[in-house]
Chain A
Amino acid sequence: MNIPLLILSFLVAFLLSVVTLPESLMLWRPEWVALVLFYWVLQAPDKVGLGTAWCVGLLLDVLEGTLFGLNALSLAVVAYLLLTMHQRIKMFPILQQSFTVFMVIGINLMLGHWIKSLIGYRPADMSFLFPAVSSALIWPILYLIMNRLDRY
């Protein structure tokens, strides 16, 4: 496992998840941090797991100004789901992996949405799931890039 790349990739993911976008694109912003976590859990399931996911989630909470523990919880759930089935996911063809990304990030978003509605954010329509779609679409590209970088 490539520790500098791990740190760098999470930093870049943090950057991308707060970078200012036009309002129409905001709804479609992929869940970069969850995607990068996805990659690393698949690569090194024995080292990157719940603990890493939780800490990264806390940092994301601070960055996005959400309630402490919201992203921490939903990213830990992502890591948990991946850890239970990482051996199968690794064998999947890339399209099926994308579908898994869609499901897992969908669950992640759903959890966040539930917590937000509990504390009284105005419940929106299903548009909060758009990032799951864009994340699934971007997964093959991200996977190729990360894999290439990882080999150096």
Chain B
Amino acid sequence: MLVIALLSLALLLVDYRFSYLDPARRTLSSLMTPIYHAVDIPYVVSRWAGNTFVSHARLREENETLRARMLVLEAQVQKMVSLGAEVSRLRDLLNASAVVDESVVVSEIISVNPDPYVHEVTINKGYDAGTYVGQPVLGASGLVGQVVDVSRFTSRVLLISDSSHAVPVQVNRNGMRAIAFGVGTHGELELVNVAETADIEVGDLLVSSGLGGRFPVGYPVGTVTSLEQEPGQPFLRIRVQPAAELDRIRHVLLVFKREPLPTSSVEAERGREGSKQPPAAEF
């Protein structure tokens, strides 16, 4: 018993302090992948049944709405392309570094961490698909979290609502910077160390500021739902509702940073040509 206890404690220490054990964990984790998939079977079956036994009329209806939605989104994208070009031209004039271009890969959540105090999910893309530790993860409506551990076919994503997670954000209205901490419940984040005199209101949209260097700039993180001012406390107590439905989403987007566009204008043109290809997307 003593030997085993010492061995476990040694393992714990080594795993906590150093990264020597990562390859072992990766290999074991890849071996355990079938278990995650087995757990997911009921959902896969129910979705398959839902897709297969559906009426023709409903499918057509759904098709209509999707088509309409696609049209709207395409129109917006056209505008975005010209705006993006304008932004990088203006940044060129200012001699600022070019905006990093991003591409995304769609991935599916296949399991949720069984520990109710840890907000972590497992997704079905691993290092075979190019996932890396620290990679930002988005949902359809906002920031979801970041990759903390990759194995061959799966990776684990820490959600922004986990109590050990923090995102650098800024208020979309005026650019004020703050840090949004998770508090351990799905529908809530907290802004810390915001002075009482700060210009922030209920309903303000918070977007990622990209200042930590980990998350891309400008993705919605949440909206402010309440401001509390406690007498005697130097800072406001600010609650934020995350933009992404962290406990309900099924599909997430893994963000891959591309090389920054070259700064000289001729090169920039060429770079823009190159980046016009549709973003990598897999379903």
Where the two chains meet, the residues of A that have a C-beta atom closer than 8 Å to any C-beta of B are 11, 14-15, 17-21, 23, 26-27, 29, 50, 54, 57-59, 62-70, 72-73, 76-77, 80, 115, 119-122, 124, 128
Contacts and interface: CB of A to CB of B under 8 A. Distances in A.
B25 A29 contact: no
A117 to B, nearest CB: 11
B4 interface: yes
Contacts of A27: 116
A61 to B, nearest CB: 8
Contact of B35 (A15, A50, A54): A15
Contacts of A14: 32, 35
Contacts of A120: 164
A26 B39 CA distance: 15
Nearest to A81: B1
Contacts of B112: 20
Contacts of B10: 69
Given A14-B35, A18-B111, A121-B164, A26 B116 contact: yes
Given A69-B15, A73-B9, A122-B184, A59 B32 contact: yes
Nearest to B116: A26
A6 B135 CA distance: 39
A65 B120 contact: yes
Interface in B81-108: none
A72 B32 CA distance: 16
Contact of B32 (A63, A73, A115): A63
Given A23-B247, A62-B29, A124 B117 contact: yes
B116 A80 contact: no
A119 B110 CA distance: 27
Contacts of B35: 11, 14-15, 18, 63
A72 B113 CA distance: 18
Given A15-B38, A54-B4, A68 B114 contact: no
Given A68-B12, A69-B12, A122-B163, A76 B5 contact: yes
A82 to B, nearest CB: 12
Contact of B113 (A62, A65, A69, A80): A65
B149 interface: yes
B39 A68 contact: no
Nearest to B3: A50
A64 B163 contact: no
Given A15-B35, A23-B247, A124-B117, A65 B156 contact: yes
Contacts of A17: 114
A62 B12 contact: no
A121 B10 CA distance: 20
Interface string B140-168: 00000000010000001000000110000
